[in-house]
Amino acid sequence: MHPNSTSGFREIAHTADWELEVWAPNLVNLLEQAALGMYHLTGVQLAPGPGISRQFTLQVIEPETLLIDFLNELLYLAESEDLGFNHFNLQIDNDRLLSELVGTQIISMDKEIKAATYHKLNIVETNQRLFANIVFDV
């Protein structure tokens, strides 16, 4: 995807790990694009069939920590329950992120991410879009 689109992600070359550039019109959409980008990097294949729903709440300390917390929550659900998600209903209510995600079982995943890191992480606004670079430890 190209940064000229309203929202999206693309892989940036990194020597030993993976780096993603993500952009979206607002923070909630940025979280969704980061999730989709992370799944893309790991080569997640989801099973067909009825969706499985998961809900969780995260505290919003600041946008960057929220982004990392959100992605690491998805990594935990992938490892502990073999779940990946393709529908995101996210709302920020004061200092909380309310998440309702729908997805299915992960059939296969090409590669493993240990964690989303804070390295180079800085959400910036440019031309009415938010941009972030996220480096994942693999």
Partner 1 sequence: MVDLRELIRVNRYEWEIPVSHRRDMRVPVRIFATKQLLDEIKGDKSLEQAVNAATLPGLVSPVVVMPDVHQGYGFPIGGVAATRLPDGIISPGAIGYDINCGVRLLASQVDYESVKNQLPELADNLNRLCPSGVGKKGHINLKINELDRVCKDGSRWTLRNGYASEADLRRTEENGSLDGADPSKISKRAKERGRQQLGTLGAGNHFIEVDVVDQVFNQKAAQAMGLIAGHLAVMIHCGSRGFGHQVCTDYVRDFQVAVKRYGIELPDRELVCAPLNSPEGKNYLAAMRCAANYAFANRQVLAHFARQAFEESLAGKVANWHLSQVYDIAHNMGKIETHEVDGELVEVCVHRKGATRAFGPGFQGLPSEYRSFGQPVLVPGSMGTASWVLVGTPESMRRSFGSSCHGAGRTMSRKKAKKSVWGEDLRKELQAQGIHIRAGSMAGLAEEAPQAYKDVDAVVETVYEAGIADKVARLRPVVVIKG
Of the CA atoms within 13 Å of residue 136, those in its CB half-sphere come to 26
Judged by CB under 8 A, does residue 119 bind partner 1?
Answer: yes
Query: Considering the rule CB under 8 A, would residue 135 count as an interface residue with partner 1?
Result: yes
From residue 69 to residue 88, what is the string marking binding to partner 1 with x (rule CB under 8 A)?
x--x---x-xxx-x------
Smallest separation (angstroms) from partner 1 to the CB of 108: 8
Which one of the spans 25-33, 91-99, 109-117, 124-132 is the region binding partner 1 (CB under 8 A)?
109-117
Residue whose structure tokens are 């099973």: 47
Buried b or exposed e, range 72-106, using 16+ CB within 10 angstroms:
bbbbebbeeeebbbeebebebeeeebebebebbeb
Check residue 65 for interaction with partner 1 (CB under 8 A).
Answer: yes
Contact 59, 53 (CB under 8 A): no
Spatial separation of the C-alpha atoms in residues 19 and 132, rounded to whole Å: 10
Question: Under the rule (CB under 8 A), what is the footprint of partner 1?
Answer: 11-18, 42-43, 61, 64-65, 68-69, 72, 76, 78-80, 82, 106, 109-112, 114-115, 117-121, 135, 137-138
